[in-house]
Amino acid sequence: VDELLHCLPPQGSTARNVMRLTEVINALRTALEPDLPRPADSRLILREGASYRFVVSDQVEIDADLLAQRLSSARHLESSGEVTGAIRLYEQATALYKGDYLPADRHSLWTANERATLQMLYANALNHLADLYAHEGRLDMAIKAANTALTVD
């Protein structure tokens, strides 16, 4: 809870800030699970003592995790010489990248590492695609992938 309180601009007493945090978490619970009878009934955001836990189930897909999984599989196929399959997975991985991680929090330190990691994974996938496209003689696509990689911050 203490770490989450630091994410909110302080307003008055600690008790008031804790109440505001609870309101924000309840709003998030309601947004994620609109049919809940009460926000405290959430199956996705649980309160455990002085902590909150986000429950990731098989029904929840996190695009950053999918990006890393697709890249790992693509690298494996590429190293095995399965170029067509590798290209397909690199293309899927790059399609998952939708821009900077949490752009509204661009200047927050807590997002910087994840943002940099995702940018690096995206640029790496584009560079592999460029190489594989060039290897197959698809030079226009190779140039496009390489140019896109150069634009990644």
Give per-residue pLDDT as tens, 92-138.
Answer: 999 999 998 888 777 877 788 889 999 999 999 999 999 999 999 99
Please report where in the chains the tokens 């290209």 appear, as a residue.
87
Answer yes or no: do 97 and 144 share one domain. Answer: yes
What's the CA gap between 95 and 101, in Å, rounded? 14
Answer yes or no: do 40 and 69 share one domain. Answer: no
What's the CA gap between 73 and 119, in Å, rounded? 18
What's the CA gap between 35 and 145, in Å, rounded? 43
What's the CA gap between 12 and 111, in Å, rounded? 26
Answer yes or no: do 32 and 86 share one domain. Answer: no
Answer yes or no: do 34 and 84 share one domain. Answer: no
What's the pTM? 0.68
Is the pLDDT reported for residue 8 higher than 70?
no
Domain, as residue range, for 49: 2-54
At residue 149, the pLDDT reads 97
Answer yes or no: do 44 and 99 share one domain. Answer: no
Number of folded domains in the chain? 2
What's the CA gap between 146 and 131, in Å, rounded? 9
Contact yes or no for 100/115 (Cβ under 8 A): yes
Answer yes or no: do 82 and 17 share one domain. Answer: no
Does residue 51 sit in helix, strand or coil? strand
Identify the CATH number of the domain in which residue 146 sits.
Answer: 1.25.40.10
